[in-house]
Amino acid sequence: MPGVIQKSVLLLSLLKPSDEREDWSTTEISREINIPIQTVHRLLNCLCEVGFVVQNKETRRFSLGTKIVELGLSIRENNKIRNTSLPFLIELSKQTKENVYLSIVEGSNGVILDCLNATKPIYHFNSEIRGIRLPLSVDAPNKVLLANLNLNTRDKIVSNLLKQKVIDDRNELESELRIIKQYGFSLTFGEREKDIMSIAAPIFSWDDTVVAAISISIYPNGLLEQLNMHIDAVLKCSKGISKELGWIGK
């Protein structure tokens, strides 16, 4: 059974649409994930039965079905953290006139759960940014998440990033994480996008566990007063969301 599940996950991951390809033939799937074509046929038949995969009757090629899309959307839409954060994201974007991001931890990565683009005067959610992941040692929201994880979890993640050669100097990262935890926010420049500064603060749940990070991206213009205003706004937003989730911290 675990082998079947693993192969099914590989197959579904392969069928994720991209700019280069929207559908696949059985032969292409077999070659790409190195699974015998007979096994691919069986997996596809099962996945088609439950609606996770569909086959174009004319081309005989396969793509993801609406059922799995519905499942993904229901996870995001029903996510308590996201739903609680939405009005705060909108308010922060209006206040700062900047793009606002909501990020969570997934393994050793930080994943953008949602993004609100500040396109004056219209504010809209950017579906292309959702799901982007980076190591927790890269960019302000990911670092603020890593800094506020419990020590055992953080140690395991940092060790894993070292093994993957994502980070070179553990002491340097640990020192930065201590500063982030002390001041309650993270500030990075050019780590996700060139010439872009990220400001992030943690979101906590009722049990004082970090569950997400709120962040904005700005083009720094050298005005310290404006930077401080942005930092204060992000901190206020993160505390507001945390309190809505039952946090009773500072």
Whether 250 is in a domain gets the answer: no
Count the residues in the chain.
250
Q: Return the CATH number at 120.
A: 3.30.450.40
Whether 172 is in a domain gets the answer: yes
Residue range(s) defining the domain that contains residue 196: 79-244
pLDDT in tens, 117-161: 776 444 445 555 666 788 999 999 999 999 999 999 999 999 989
> What's residue 122's pLDDT?
42
Among 72, 102, 128, where does a domain finish? Answer: 72
pLDDT band at 223 (very low <50, low <70, confident <90, very high): low
pTM strictly above 0.85: no
> What's residue 1's pLDDT?
42
Among 36, 53, 72, where does a domain finish? Answer: 72
Mean pLDDT computed over every residue of the chain: 85
Whether 116 is in a domain gets the answer: yes
| Same domain membership, residue 110 and residue 28 | no
Question: Is 227's pLDDT higher than 60?
Answer: yes
Among 72, 87, 105, where does a domain finish? Answer: 72
| Same domain membership, residue 205 and residue 176 | yes
Whether 199 is in a domain gets the answer: yes
Question: Is 39's pLDDT higher than 60?
Answer: yes
Question: Is 244's pLDDT higher than 50?
Answer: yes
| Same domain membership, residue 83 and residue 67 | no
The number of folded domains in the chain is 2
Whether 191 is in a domain gets the answer: yes
**Do the beta carbons of residue 138 and residue 191 sit within 8 Å?**
yes
Q: Which two tokens stand for residue 84?
A: 């609680």
Name residue 197's amino acid.
M
Question: Is 20's pLDDT higher than 90?
Answer: no
pLDDT in tens, 167-180: 888 899 999 999 99
> What's residue 74's pLDDT?
56
| Same domain membership, residue 99 and residue 66 | no
Whether 140 is in a domain gets the answer: yes
Phi, psi of 127 (to 5 degrees): -70, -20
**Do the beta carbons of residue 144 and residue 200 sit within 8 Å?**
yes
Question: Is 51's pLDDT higher than 60?
Answer: yes
pLDDT in tens, 85-121: 989 998 998 888 888 999 988 888 898 888 887 764 4
Whether 249 is in a domain gets the answer: no
Whether 198 is in a domain gets the answer: yes
Q: What is the DSSP string of the chain?
A: -HHHHHHHHHHHHHTS--SS-S-B-HHHHHHHHT--HHHHHHHHHHHHHTTSEEE-TTT--EEE-HHHHHHHHHHHHT-HHHHHHHHHHHHHHHHH-SEEEEEEEETTEEEEEEEEEEETTEEEE-TTTTT-EEETTSSHHHHHHHHHS-HHHHHHHHHHHHHTTS-S-HHHHHHHHHHHHHHT-EEEESSSSTT-EEEEEEEE-TTS-EEEEEEEEE---S-HHHHHHHHHHHHHHHHHHHHHTT----
Q: Higher pLDDT residue, 218 or 215? A: 215
Q: Return the CATH number at 41.
A: 1.10.10.10
| Same domain membership, residue 84 and residue 61 | no
